[in-house]
């Protein structure tokens, strides 16, 4: 994949080894997936940037490979008051289940982040809308969503994936 510096089609059998041969700088370098400015009637404009790295965004491809007929769970949560200007950092990812010493556990697996000045349905719709498709040519089949209390996130989830269970 061009996104990962390989000028050939994605091969699940060789991807992990090829990917890990890349430098840390290359894998962790910031990628701006989208920057936006959205004027909102009777409100402050919503502006922000959607960012990731090759290491994180590769998790989207791994979700695609594993979604089959059951789809994936997507989680998002905002960290508020992180920035003096009131900007919000919002993560977007999935969960991974694994077995450790006689018990199952899970952890959050990030895919991308958005840093947004003013939260809005439109900003979250931009965040959720087909960034994965732009790079991989396949849409995430999101069946379940986990989110914080923000109603604009729930609305954008349902705009992007009408069948999602929140």
Q: Among residues 116, 117, 112, 150, which one has the least CA distance to residue 128?
A: 112
Which pTM value belongs to this model? Answer: 0.84
What pLDDT digit, counting tens, does each position of 105-131 carry? Answer: 999 999 999 998 888 888 888 888 778
Rounded to whole angstroms, what are the CA distances from 3 to 31, 52, 53, 54, 150?
10, 12, 10, 7, 32
Q: Where are the domains of the chain?
A: 29-160
What pLDDT digit, counting tens, does each position of 20-48 carry? Answer: 888 899 889 999 999 999 988 887 788 89
């Amino acid at each position: 994949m061009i996104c990962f510096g390989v000028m050939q089609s994605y091969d699940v059998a060789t991807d992990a080894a090829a990917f890990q041969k890349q430098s840390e700088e290359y894998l962790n370098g910031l990628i701006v997936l989208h920057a936006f400015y959205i004027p909102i009637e009777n409100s402050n404009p919503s502006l922000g940037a959607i960012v990731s790295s090759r290491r994180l965004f590769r998790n989207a491809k791994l979700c695609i490979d594993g979604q089959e007929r059951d789809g994936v769970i997507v989680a998002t949560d905002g960290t508020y008051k992180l920035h003096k200007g009131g900007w919000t950092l919002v993560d977007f990812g999935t969960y991974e289940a694994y077995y450790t010493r006689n018990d199952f556990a899970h952890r959050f697996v990030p895919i991308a982040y958005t840093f947004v000045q003013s939260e809005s349905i439109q900003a979250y719709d931009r965040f959720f809308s087909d960034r994965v498709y732009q790079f991989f040519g396949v849409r995430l089949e999101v069946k379940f969503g986990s989110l914080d209390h923000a109603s604009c996130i729930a609305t954008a989830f349902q705009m992007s994936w009408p069948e999602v269970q929140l």
